[in-house]
Chains A and B, each alone.
Chain A
Amino acid sequence: MNDVETMTTAGSVDAQPRVKVIARGVDVFYGEKHAIKNLTVDIPDRAVTAFIGPSGCGKSTFLRCINRMNDTIANCRVTGRIEIDGEDVYDPALDVVQLRARVGMVFQKPNPFPKSVFENVAYGPKLHGLARDRTELEEIVVRSLKRASLFEEVKDRLNDPGTGLSGGQQQRLCIARAIAVSPEVILMDEPCSALDPIATAKIEELIDELRSNFTIVIVTHSMQQAARVSQRTAFFHLGTLVEEGATEQIFTAPQDRRTQDYITGRFG
């Protein structure tokens, strides 16, 4: 409860936050399957928005629409409009590579490259030509690792394989890797589901710190986590967005019966 109160205070500071991502009438189909139905949502800038809901309700699908990761799925079709800062994400003229540089992603299972810690973080900046020389690249890597609160733990083994770190460290490495390309939005798809409670706590702490610089969208199955880290919460059910609002409001006074049932554990 205490957490939620802190959040409320934080939320009240920017009571009317700028909207970063908007979605209007989004439908997603996997072949015949209608995965998301007419979804409309606003995601505020420099805040954490949590998507909750039972498995298979479409929250991950929607998350992957924001940086068009669904493009890699052969029979996936997206209609409707998603905008970041007023720019249409599905505009054919838009370069998907540039989009993904602006919208970073952290996956459910830590997936560092089987390369050194340094190479993991340096890959994105190298790809986008963010560093002119080695020193600059090193600066970016160190800064990113520090922002992901991983630097102190790995500073002596930057050349060891990233896959040799513990699960929590690997996930923070993935976060460092994502923020190394200075994205505006970071999408997190159940980033703590494969971690133990201590590693989870560290990631949550990190998310809270990152909030001041990035727009973060997090999909989670843990309602406590949503309550702890997010300012806004959206509840999905069977491909529709049931309810969206300030986290405190969703958890204390849900408007919809289904939301109430879900957060009180009556189904899900």
Chain B
Amino acid sequence: MTDAALSASTSPRRPVSAAVQARLKARYRAERRFRAYGLFALLLTSAFVVALLGDILVRGLPSFWQYHVTLDVDYKADVIDPAGKREADALRSADYSQLAQQALQEAVPGITGRQARRALSRLLSTGSGDTLRAAVLADPALIGTRQKVQLPISADSDLYLKANGGAPSATPGKGALTATVDGNDVALTANGPEFGAALAAVKDILAARARTLRTEMARIGTGGSDASKARLAELRAEAEKLEARATAKDQPEEVDGNMPSLLVGWGEGLVKIARLGPDKAEGTALLPVGDGGEIKAGAWSLRRYAVPENARKTTDQEIAFLDRLAGAGRIENRFNTLFFKAGDSREPELAGIRGALVGSFLTLLVTLALCLPIGVMAAVYLEEFAPKNRLTEIIEVNINNLAAVPSIVFGLLGLAVFLNFFNLPRSAPLVGGLVLALLVLPTIIIAARAAIKAVPPSIKEAALGLGASHQQAVFHHVLPLAMPGIMTGTIIGMAHALGETAPLLMIGMVAFIVDIPGGITDAATVMPVQIYLWSDLPEQAFKAKTAGAIVVLLAFLFAMNGAAIWLRKRFERRW
């Protein structure tokens, strides 16, 4: 009996009606669906974040490195200090870039001709003279000695080495060549059709150009006006000429700057081909080739740069020099300390974020010094002491409204009040800090009020019951307990201020400022504005700098948010 009763009570209970079962199923389905939505949203956002961060890192990290060339620099006394007095002014005004150029010419010997020399001088950063100057000013004993010095190379060369996409494909030569050298001009003749494949590639390009012209003609159509008829005839003539050249298989061809560059290298020498036949080539020497004569099979190679010279920033000549320097082990990719030590510059390889970092720091300092005391006091007053009446209600509503005001409006306010009325200095962290303080204040007040409200009233009652005055109860007990929350709110507000650009544009912190600011009234810019400025510049190399600066800014933001979390965990108390 007992067993039966037990099994009855534990058996699948009373029968559930079909309607109830259907409803139950629908409920579970709804829950599963909701979870799937949540998971999808989460995955999607994660994918975006990962893609964004990955992209920024991939673009930005290379800007933390910079290629340097190691040169043996002669600190010639007659160049630096002809008077021999070692006066700081004389040392400062000497022409150091001349020394750097001389050292570079020594490193690549045998370069004659203005064109080549100029190409060589373009390899070095214009800041290399400054590097030498700084070294000499720090230690005048260097004068008259010969030192190994690492100098930054120019941004374009740096980009070429980083991209490495222009690296040539080299095919070793099968037969022997005979080189005839006349000054810089070199003629190469082969016994067989050594250059046949290369010539065919050139002819293909000509054929492709003819096709482009034909397409253009089809676009113009049979044409109505005289002008278009004339244009049509012109195009047809040009296309036919190109087609004739493309079909004439063994006819020698010019290699122009819009075609992939062709070079022949043997030994130390390198020749850029300007005219190509199946078994002969003519061109100019980019690197000295010596006296010419017989070149054995396999001793030479035909190199081809896929990207035409006209589509590149670095010329074939510069690439030749870079390859030579790299071959001599003089080129090294080093951590770019200048990026963290220097202020802004028009030269990408010399531009750094130190100025913007210091500017941001000073601006945030002003913001924090104003916001934290004012914000916390306002919150304490409103939450604990203010009478609850119409006026305080209006103030509360408007603080919430202020938090939603577009930041550019605060910038205009700063421009009108701080610059035009109070005549504070333009572009200064002081004004930037004041404007950002206006921006962040509502956030901090709201966060602080929430934190104060979250402290259980029993703690305040306990203090009051012991005979503490209202103020003592608040300052001894409520405020310390609310502090982690207030800190978190403040840091998040500060992080917001760190990333703010728009209001600072209004008060002139958008200027090109090279010097690192020394105080809150010096002209300065801030990180996000620096990023904005760099992103606007046409130089390719500034793209990487922009991404690099973003990486630094993000690192700071993450660090600040991390600090907020740490503070909360560290000081959070349970009651």
Contact = CB atoms under 8 A, between A and B. Distances in A.
Contact of A72 (B464, B477, B573, B574): B464
B468 A97 contact: yes
Contacts of B456: 111
A100 B575 contact: no
Contacts of B388: 74
A214 to B, nearest CB: 15
Nearest to B458: A111
A143 to B, nearest CB: 17
Contacts of B116: none
Contacts of A74: 388
Main secondary structure of the interface of A (DSSP, over half): helix
Given A69-B461, A111-B461, A114-B481, A178 B573 contact: no
A58 interface: no
Interface in A146-163: 161, 163
A49 interface: no
B261 to A, nearest CB: 75
Contact of A181 (B462, B467, B472): B467
A98 interface: yes
B465 A97 contact: no
A252 to B, nearest CB: 34
A109 B467 contact: no
B466 A181 contact: yes
A178 B575 contact: no
Interface string B443-487: 000000000000010110111111111101000110001000000
Interface in A137-182: 161, 163, 174, 177-178, 181
A107 B465 contact: yes
Interface string A99-140: 111001101010111100000000110011000000000000
A247 interface: no
A128 B463 CA distance: 12
B481 A100 contact: no
B462 to A, nearest CB: 5
Nearest to A99: B467
Contacts of B467: 97-101, 124, 127-128, 181
A124 B463 CA distance: 8
Contacts of B573: 114, 161, 163
Contacts of A127: 466-468, 472
Contacts of A105: 461, 465
Given A163-B573, A163-B575, A178 B464 contact: no
A187 to B, nearest CB: 8
A231 interface: no
Contact of B465 (A100, A109, A161, A163): A100
B383 to A, nearest CB: 13
Q: Which of B456, B459, B575 has the most CB of A within 10 A?
A: B575
Given A74-B388, A113-B459, A114-B574, A69 B477 contact: no
Contacts of A259: none
A67 B467 CA distance: 10
A72 B463 CA distance: 12
Nearest to B456: A111
Contacts of A67: 465
Interface string A56-79: 000000000001010010100000
Contacts of A104: 465-466
Given A109-B458, A114-B481, A163-B574, A123 B463 contact: yes
Given A107-B458, A109-B458, A111-B459, A123 B575 contact: no
Contacts of B458: 107, 109, 111
B469 A97 contact: yes
A177 B461 CA distance: 13
A178 B472 contact: no
Closest 4 CB pairs of A and B: A105-B465, A111-B458, A101-B467, A100-B467
Interface of A: 67, 69, 72, 74, 97-101, 104-105, 107, 109, 111-114, 123-124, 127-128, 161, 163, 174, 177-178, 181
